[in-house]
Amino acid sequence: MGRRYAVGMAVALALLLAHPPAIAPADADADAAAAVAGMERRYAQAETASGAFRQVYRAPGMVQEESGVFKLKRPGLMRWEYRTPEEKLFVADGKECFLYVPRDRQVTVHPLTPADIKRTPLSFLLGGGGARRDYRVTAEAEYKASRAGTVLARLTPLRREEEYRFVVLELDAGTHDIRRVVIRERSGNTSEFLLSDVVTGRNASAKDFQFKVPRGVEVVRVND
């Protein structure tokens, strides 16, 4: 009986070493929550953020990729300059947001409320969003890391009326910097932002977040 027990333990140990158990979901969720907490601390005092981005939009039968540079400033000022494959400019001045497409000679204007700004997932870069207050934070299993040394966390909004199902954050495991943001819309379409060269605390001119409609450009106002 003793020999059988010893042999059985040896076989079990060999199988365990050959196939180590996956991290328990609870442990993975705890790691994701810890990374998100680190991200909140990292950006809590950030008044400005700037860097480069690559955006990939996916919908049935369509993949659209664009890239450019961005600037953000509290409490909700944004400037996204799309440079490839087509020039576009998105500016949010805290009250309205403007999307200017030079090729079309058209500007689309939307109202922008403090609540809209707060619910924007990209506001995490300025310490906004209330990740652990407004979302259920879990480990991410569907998306894979885009680079080594990062942690993936899924944030599912607690408010049912949000326009997206969940947000995936890819965070640097050491610094907790945001490297990637994936937004899954209610429709199933996704917007993915891969961020690089992100700097916080750099001075930003107020003019960067003001938009003056060029002459001869059509203005389309959308009242949500």
Confidence of residue 18 (pLDDT cuts 50, 70, 90): very low
What is the mean predicted confidence (pLDDT) over 59-87?
Answer: 94
Predicted pLDDT of residue 2:
47
Give per-residue pLDDT as tens, 74-109: 888 999 999 999 999 999 998 999 999 999 999 999
CA-based nearest residue to 72, from 173, 169, 195: 195
Distances (CA, A) of 221 to 97, 110, 164, 210, 224: 10, 6, 24, 17, 10
Beta pairing partners, 53? 68, 195
pTM of the model: 0.81
- φ and ψ at residue 218, rounded to 5 degrees: -70, 135
The Cα–Cα gap between 135 and 193 comes to: 19
How many angstroms from the chain centroid is the CA of residue 182? 5
Predicted pLDDT of residue 201:
86
Predicted pLDDT of residue 13:
33
Confidence of residue 129 (pLDDT cuts 50, 70, 90): low
Give per-residue pLDDT as tens, 159-186: 877 788 999 999 999 999 999 999 999 9
The Cα–Cα gap between 172 and 158 comes to: 25
Predicted pLDDT of residue 177:
93
- Domains of the chain (ranges plus CATH)? 24-221 (2.50.20.10)
- 3-class secondary-structure state, position 10: helix
Contact 14, 27 (CB under 8 A): no
Range with the poorest average pLDDT among 18-27, 68-77, 86-95: 18-27
